[in-house]
Structure 1
Amino acid sequence: MRNFLSIFFLLIGIIPFFLHAQQSADKVLFYKKPATDFNEALPIGNGRIGAMVYGGLQNETLNINEATLWGGGPANNNPNPNASQFLSSVRSYLDDGNWQQASRTLQKMQGPNVNSYVPLADVNIQQTLDGDVSSYQRNLDLSTAIATTQFSVGGVNYTREVLVSKPSEIIIMRMTASQVGKLNFSLGISTQFDSSQVVFEKGVMILKGQLPYHINSNRRIEMEQISANGQKGMRYQLRIKILLPNSDGKLEEINGLSVSNATEALVYITATTSYNGFRNRPDTEGVDENKLAEKYITEATKQNFKKIREAHVLDYQKYFNRVNLDLGLSDKNVIPTDERLANYKKGSEDKGLEVLYFNFGRYLLISSSRPGGVPANLQGIWNKNQRPSWGSNYTTNINVQMNYWPALMFNMVEMNAPLLDQIERWAQNGREIVQNYYKMNGWTVHHNSDIWATANPVQGDPKYANWALGGPWLSQHLYWHYQFTMDKSYLKQKAYPLMKEAARFCDDWLVLKKGYYVTSPSTSPENVFIDTNGNKGVVTIGSTMDMQIIWDLYNNLIEASETLNIDKVLRYEWIQKRDKLFPMRIGIAGNIMEWSQDFKDDDPQHRHVSHLFGLHPGRQLSPILTPDLAKAARKTLEIRGDGGTGWSKAWKVNFWSRLLDGEHAYKMYRELLSTSTLNNLLDNHPPFQIDGNFGGISGIGEMLLQSHLNELHLLPALPKKWENGSIEGMLARGGFIVDMKWENNKILSGKIKASSNSECKIRTDVPIKVKGVKSKTEKNGHYYLTTFISNAGRVYEFRR
């Protein structure tokens, strides 16, 4: 019997090696050596619990995160009671062109910094190995969301499989040896917080702790143990239980948990916090994290690995499998991902790597944003630092929005839900901030925020801290959700009321000058201008980005009110306001002016290109509708250059796609992978910041399908290098699900599934025919427009 088991487990060890050879080159990250640091480790997650897997040999590490583990507690929405008295002075200084005094005065309207997202703990595994290591491999299978480490020592094949189950709310690691009794390891927990303690209860190792009250995103400020009003920080817990399914080996509590002479071990890990919503104190009004963790670990350990794995894969694939991108690549001769990336950086072509990055981006959003949870932050949910860069905050002048650009277009509607829920929370706090800081109506959120939905302007340079249009920008995502889903009930009950309130703030925030509505004070995040007298400034009147964002909000509200057939009087007022906003202007260099005057930039190649919001993600300018402004937008990008941080390059992929320039969009995509991507394919700001991953794959969507102009523009910016391929399952505004195939850079065929009874307008560069329906095709410049009336639930096939 013992020999039989040895053969059985030998096969178990060999099979994964064989299977990997059959796996697709565009759905597996794999490496032939362990990760040396966080930037090489592999991320896994279920939206709430995250882990980074290093794939070590004698020493394996899992960095554990829980998405709600933040410093602090509910926001104080009146932290600066004197703030409102300074607004009139700021506006007077701006009227006089005294930019510096305006900035100094504006700083008197700031409030406290927001809190940081922090790591929970590290799980450290010390595995006893005797002999030389061979056949090492670690991988992350994006088709199953499972990370696997495999290697051989002394003729024994060892395997570790680890996943984060959403149905069970646990991390589970299955460790096996191909020979009976050859699995020996010890497991311990380490944490960065001194208040933590480890205890054992009924064979379960438990890490318990409570954060310092305030963990500020400003790294220069020390952590506070207790706040001024006696609040303490959030409680947290990590539970680990090990089971030996084969009833061999020995499990002991020796400096942690120790396993000896086993053949297979299942390590169950769960994490919880006392977070109980953004308005409840986590110390006195929090949930019972102990009870919750006990429930998760108790229920999970009733299930074997196979059952948990099957439920996990089924849950994950219902999102991941909706979309499939094929660029005609081969699955053969796969090389490790870090080597592929290194070759790519030297100029080699690798469509498989480009598709792998695309699939990895979708994987990351599914793994870091789930319904009922909080939104993905600057690092998704993966962070090992007690003081992460920028606090791993929600930064609303582009970064949190960029995280969700791909959610709807790639049919991950459910992943969009945490952002929509957070917008409601921001609106609640934002109403009070607007009233207390400005004596105005409506709601907004400023540049930085956290899990507590903090909405006040934070400490720091006004060029970022006092940017006040987070609410209007976030309102765009409310309307997008309707446009992609055509859920009129959602529009009426959730999106439209929040959008209206954001517009009320804009109504009060705008001032009328020389016949135009402008914002005052105004910034263009996070840029510095030089005026005609050579003076530098960051605060001014009527920045182009402000005007474009407010135009977008009013325009969306006008459409929404027409759809719902309500608020005719308000609609007229929005039209009047929209049409009297200070217009975009073209500067002497032929570019879109960033400021209300044609000022110079202190940094002409600044990473933010905020004044092209109207090109993307907005829809105010386009080559089709506003060719002169589009030409100026192109000039703006040429002056800014192709450089920048990771997320900046990602934004430029989207910009160039909206300009219908597939070659330059592809150039930026290549640069994003070549200069701003780490070996584990995470975006390098630097340091790691996840928005570049999400913005990058959004750019692919904009290359293949655009729907912001109320039509389906198929292959609007297809690169020549992607001459043959297909995409299945993309979601477009109007509620259409689109499949399409192309050959020789021209559309060949496809399917469109309609979710409502409406007009479907398709823009293509060659004429197409829609099967089984009366359609009209007409030439429109360089394009053909095909129009037909769609019926909900019906699938329409087309072909050139």
Structure 2
Amino acid sequence: MKYTYIIFIIFSFFDKGQAQSNHILWYNQPAEFFEESLVLGNGKMGATVFGGINSDKIYLNDITLWSGEPVDPYMNKYAYKNLPAIRDAFNKEDYKLAEELNKKIQGKNSESYAPLGTLLITHYNKGKATNYYRELDISKAISKVSYEVEGVKFTREYFVSAPDQIMIVKLTSSQKGALNFDVNFSSLLESNTVVKNNVLEMNGIAPMHENPGYVKNSETYLPAGYHPEIVPEKKEVIVKGTRFISLLKVKNIDGTVSFSNNTLELKNATDVVIYVSVATSFKGFDKDPSIDGIANSIAKKNLSKAFSISFDKLKKSHIADYQKFYNRVSLDLGNTKAPDLPTDERLLRYADGAEDKSLEILYFNYGRYLLISSSRTLGVPANLQGLWNPYLNPPWNSNYTMNINLEENYWLAENTNLSELHLPLLSFIKNLSVTGKVTAKTFYGVDKGWAAAHNSDIWAMSNPVGQFGKEDPMWACWPLAGAWLSTHIWEHYVFTQDKKYLEKEGYPLMKGAAEFCMNWLVTDKKGNLITAPSTSPENQYITPDGFVGATLYGGTADLAMIRECFDKTIKASKVLNIDADFRAQLERDLSRLHPYQIGQKGNLQEWYFDWEDKDPRHRHQSHLFGLFPGDHITPSKTPELALACKKALEIKGDETTGWSKGWRINLWARLWDGNRAYKMFRELLRYVDPDGKKTEKPRRGGGTYPNLFDAHPPFQIDGNFGGTAAVVEMLVQSNENEIRLLPALPDAWETGTIKGISARGGFELEMHWDKKRLSKLIISSKLGGKTTLIYGNQTKSILIKKGETQEILW
């Protein structure tokens, strides 16, 4: 018995050393590039940790720090007067003229998400560092660094707490008094740093300008366009813009703290805890952040409160708060033979075709981690980079791009059981509806409902962009964001069954989006309802005479989104038993929409006519909206249209940007092709070199950076979220009446278990499968209800009471 025990210990140790983690990212060197860093966040404050040895750089963000001020929705009061001329050009089939006239229906561009600053910890270690290790444990939302210098072990621990609204950095050394370092702040924005009452304090202001256009991301671009404004009643000059503040204070058991040249110096310490508090003067999308700023009081209050709490208690409450979301779902895909490697090496190995099921689970878990960390501020959803932006001039302003990217950020919110984290988007939609009422009237001549376009920002800007006619209609002119976003409201209801939310908040917004669409539609020559003008987001057609353009009428994407908007609004009115007359009108208009067309190649047409795309492999696939994220095209209900969607995807191919791969995986899953979906999932995890890294044979294109960030490229967080959502879509698909189990299970996932995922109808599922066959289902209901379970050719109707759990064997 004694020898058996020893052998067991040996093999247990061996297994532990070989097994890859599905919740830890780790590396054996510091980050050199942003795309190698490890990110932390509490849904408002973000930290990007590089983990350097002598110099530890931490980028700081606050999700409410943006350029600009509340938008003037009346910026182009009479833009709608250009619509008759555009429609007249259509009647004459003069698409070139229509394209030029469409530029007259443009407004300002969005504002930019701004970087708050950088926290720099400079260590004075002598000697070469060895045994370096850096990790991010996404099961606890904690990052760690450790290394040794001349026999002394140094460790750091980082987390950003939601309950205490504070960032913590704990530094320790194995030898008494071995910690010697400086701490200071810097910012790319206009700022200054002072010392007050043993607190390092950086104050600053975000610029007032919008970017003149989408330009290359830069860390050196300097802001311009500060607009001082005299406030008459106060008889003083107010420099306009959002204020921000960052406070830092240290708690040390030994050593000495001093300040010089706006730098904190700590000498001969053993154990130090750094507390960092940030805040901005943002008070709401429609409130001037320049006046009566509240940043200082918020930051000081949070710092004072947190500083009175011990490190251990702060850490405990942080983990408990985070895990109430993270621990709801777990995924197991069976045994893996992948060796224990740092995450960057692991990605490279996987990109060469090797098996690593735990990496696939890690990527799935990481998507949920990123949403928990970036989406907890009402009215301020995760942006193009979630929460983490180091650039003063970020890619695409790091804004809310609403023709796919903002929505893709939230595809995982409901099905991975993170419904509360959907609320920042849903409350943002409410803000959009306010400015959107003016946009509907002034840009589109519609007096009912609300509209939103391609881009937005923290100020809920809803107008079409393009710098008042300077930019291309293929991306600037598109008014259907409201229709798309309204479907998120229905998703929230149908997953949660929160009828009170639907009645008080959701349905009025859905109705407003539908009202705009009803009044935006016009009748074509065949008597069908179409949109005019129309574009298909960021794509272009080629007419038979060779004209390349984007402006047309009756775009398939427009009508697909309107179908979903009408269908979901009809269902919502039935649930609430209200607006029968309005519902009847929606049903009539829905039946009159220009029908889908299948082209000569067997593909679903993107354009009103069967015209060629300028780029047949274009990254957008908006015309397939009805298949996903919509649900009115399915292989069972509309097999011909589903086959046409498949053909369209085959023409486009699989090589595309990161976020587009995320969308296409979901589309292939909805076509019940698990192996094609899995092929693209593997390609989504293809290793991509950091943007600034120079190598002889750089790895570029859509995929995944060393820190698991999605590579558009550059970094866009939507691919992470779309990829995580797609994993669930491969395992379960549902609607209001049925739940389809393992509809797109790939051969590679022969054995597995998933627990805690959500299905429409208010259900929560646990599934076990082996040899690609479902063996056990455990299902519970939040409020009680009935549904039909579908697995292969088998169907089972079940009724579950509130709080009841049923176990079903297959």
What interval of TM-score do these two structures reach, taking the shorter chain for normalisation? over 0.9
Structure 2: segments with no counterpart, 5+ residues: 1-12, 216-220, 231-237, 687-701
Q: Secondary structure at the match of 1:136?
A: strand
String of CA shifts for 1:487-543, please: whole Å, max 9, x gaps. Answer: 111111111111111111011100012221000000000100012222222010010
Kindly report which structure 2 residues correspond to 1:38-437, keeping only aligned pairs within 5 A, or say none: 38-193=34-189, 195-216=190-211, 218-219=213-214, 223-226=224-227, 232-244=240-252, 246=253, 248-255=254-261, 256-286=263-293, 288-329=294-335, 333-372=339-378, 374-437=380-443
Give the structure 1 partner of residue 501 of structure 2: 490
Q: Compute the displacement of 1:210 (Å).
A: 1.4
Aligned match of 1:681 in 679, 688, 708?
708
Aligned match of 1:542 in 549, 554, 562?
554
How many angstroms apart in 1 are the aligned matches of 2:178 and 2:187?
A: 30
Q: Compute the displacement of 1:632 (Å).
A: 0.8
Q: Compute the displacement of 1:196 (Å).
A: 0.7
How many angstroms apart in 2 are the aligned matches of 1:690 and 1:788?
A: 38
How many angstroms apart in 1 are the aligned matches of 2:399 and 2:316?
A: 34
Q: Say whether residues 1:481 and 2:492 are aligned partners.
A: yes
Q: Secondary structure at the match of 1:267?
A: strand
Q: Compute the displacement of 1:23 (Å).
A: 9.0
Q: Compute the displacement of 1:344 (Å).
A: 0.7
Check the 8 A contact 1:215/1:223 in 2, yes or no. no
How many angstroms apart in 1 are the aligned matches of 2:613 and 2:140?
A: 48
Check the 8 A contact 1:48/1:373 in 2, yes or no. no
How many angstroms apart in 2 are the aligned matches of 1:295 and 1:145?
A: 24
How many angstroms apart in 2 are the aligned matches of 1:449 and 1:125?
A: 36
Give the structure 2 partner of residue 643 of structure 1: 655
- Structure 1: which amino acid aligns with 2:440? V
String of CA shifts for 1:211-256, please: whole Å, max 9, x gaps. Answer: 2222427256973111789861111101000110x2x111111231
String of CA shifts for 1:375-411, please: whole Å, max 9, x gaps. Answer: 0000000000000010000000000000000000000
Go from structure 1 to structure 2 and tell me whether the alpha carbon gap of 1:703 and 1:379 turns closer, same or farther (over 3 Å shift): same
Q: Say whether residues 1:502 and 2:509 are aligned partners.
A: no
Give the structure 1 partner of residue 690 of structure 2: none
Range that drifts further, 599-608 or 224-233: 224-233
- Structure 2: which amino acid aligns with 1:224? G
Give the structure 1 partner of residue 776 of structure 2: 749
Aligned match of 2:786 in 731, 741, 759?
759
Check the 8 A contact 1:174/1:265 in 2, yes or no. yes
How many angstroms apart in 2 are the aligned matches of 1:215 and 1:153?
A: 47
Q: Say whether residues 1:593 and 2:579 are aligned partners.
A: no
Go from structure 1 to structure 2 and tell me whether the alpha carbon gap of 1:757 and 1:472 turns closer, same or farther (over 3 Å shift): same
How many angstroms apart in 2 are the aligned matches of 1:114 and 1:484?
A: 32
How many angstroms apart in 2 are the aligned matches of 1:219 and 1:207?
A: 29
String of CA shifts for 1:104-139, please: whole Å, max 9, x gaps. Answer: 111112111110001000001111112221111000
- Structure 2: which amino acid aligns with 1:485? T
Q: Compute the displacement of 1:709 (Å).
A: 6.3
Range that drifts further, 755-764 or 158-167: 755-764
Give the structure 1 partner of residue 30 of structure 2: 34
Check the 8 A contact 1:116/1:217 in 2, yes or no. no
Q: Say whether residues 1:653 and 2:648 are aligned partners.
A: no
Check the 8 A contact 2:109/2:210 in 1, yes or no. no
Q: Say whether residues 1:794 and 2:804 are aligned partners.
A: yes
Q: Say whether residues 1:703 and 2:730 are aligned partners.
A: yes
String of CA shifts for 1:599-640, please: whole Å, max 9, x gaps. Answer: 100100000011100000001111111111111111000001
How many angstroms apart in 2 are the aligned matches of 1:650 and 1:452?
A: 28
Aligned match of 2:474 in 463, 467, 470?
463
Q: Secondary structure at the match of 1:365?
A: helix
Give the structure 2 partner of residue 671 of structure 1: 683
TM-score (norm 2): 0.92
How many angstroms apart in 2 are the aligned matches of 1:347 and 1:439?
A: 54
Check the 8 A contact 2:561/2:625 in 1, yes or no. yes
Q: Secondary structure at the match of 2:798?
A: strand
String of CA shifts for 1:181-205, please: whole Å, max 9, x gaps. Answer: 1111111111112x31111111000
- Size of the alignment, in residue pairs? 763
Q: Compute the displacement of 1:643 (Å).
A: 1.1
Q: Secondary structure at the match of 1:109?
A: coil
Q: Secondary structure at the match of 2:552?
A: coil
Q: Compute the displacement of 1:328 (Å).
A: 1.5
Q: Say whether residues 1:624 and 2:636 are aligned partners.
A: yes
Q: Say whether residues 1:522 and 2:534 are aligned partners.
A: yes
String of CA shifts for 1:417-471, please: whole Å, max 9, x gaps. Answer: 1000000000011001111222312101100100000011111211111100000
How many angstroms apart in 2 are the aligned matches of 1:652 and 1:626?
A: 19
Give the structure 2 partner of residue 774 of structure 1: none
How many angstroms apart in 2 are the aligned matches of 1:415 and 1:512?
A: 40
String of CA shifts for 1:727-747, please: whole Å, max 9, x gaps. Answer: 000011000000111000111
Q: Compute the displacement of 1:98 (Å).
A: 1.5
Q: Secondary structure at the match of 2:200?
A: strand
How many angstroms apart in 1 are the aligned matches of 2:312 and 2:339?
A: 31
- Structure 2: which amino acid aligns with 1:636? A
How many angstroms apart in 1 are the aligned matches of 2:633 and 2:205?
A: 50
Go from structure 1 to structure 2 and tell me whether the alpha carbon gap of 1:608 and 1:62 turns closer, same or farther (over 3 Å shift): same
How many angstroms apart in 2 are the aligned matches of 1:18 and 1:39?
A: 32
Q: Compute the displacement of 1:333 (Å).
A: 4.4
How many angstroms apart in 2 are the aligned matches of 1:676 and 1:156?
A: 39
How many angstroms apart in 1 are the aligned matches of 2:529 and 2:435?
A: 26
Range that drifts further, 534-543 or 31-40: 534-543
Q: Secondary structure at the match of 1:196?
A: strand
Q: Compute the displacement of 1:91 (Å).
A: 1.2
TM-score (norm 1): 0.93
Check the 8 A contact 2:23/2:138 in 1, yes or no. yes
Range that drifts further, 124-133 or 691-700: 124-133
Give the structure 2 partner of residue 448 of structure 1: 455
Q: Secondary structure at the match of 1:566?
A: coil
How many angstroms apart in 2 are the aligned matches of 1:550 and 1:525?
A: 15
**Identity across the alignment (%):** 44
Q: Compute the displacement of 1:331 (Å).
A: 9.5
Q: Secondary structure at the match of 2:757?
A: strand
Give the structure 1 partner of residue 3 of structure 2: none
Structure 1: segments with no counterpart, 5+ residues: 1-16, 766-782
Give the structure 1 partner of residue 7 of structure 2: none
C-alpha RMSD of the superposition: 1.8
Q: Secondary structure at the match of 2:260?
A: coil
How many angstroms apart in 1 are the aligned matches of 2:662 and 2:798?
A: 35
Range that drifts further, 167-176 or 783-792: 783-792
- Structure 1: which amino acid aligns with 2:794? Y
Go from structure 1 to structure 2 and tell me whether the alpha carbon gap of 1:358 and 1:546 turns closer, same or farther (over 3 Å shift): same
- Structure 2: which amino acid aligns with 1:237? I
Check the 8 A contact 2:99/2:550 in 1, yes or no. yes
Range that drifts further, 200-209 or 786-795: 786-795
Check the 8 A contact 1:217/1:390 in 2, yes or no. no
Range that drifts further, 595-604 or 123-132: 123-132
How many angstroms apart in 2 are the aligned matches of 1:461 and 1:276?
A: 34
How many angstroms apart in 2 are the aligned matches of 1:322 and 1:238?
A: 33
- Structure 2: which amino acid aligns with 1:379? Q
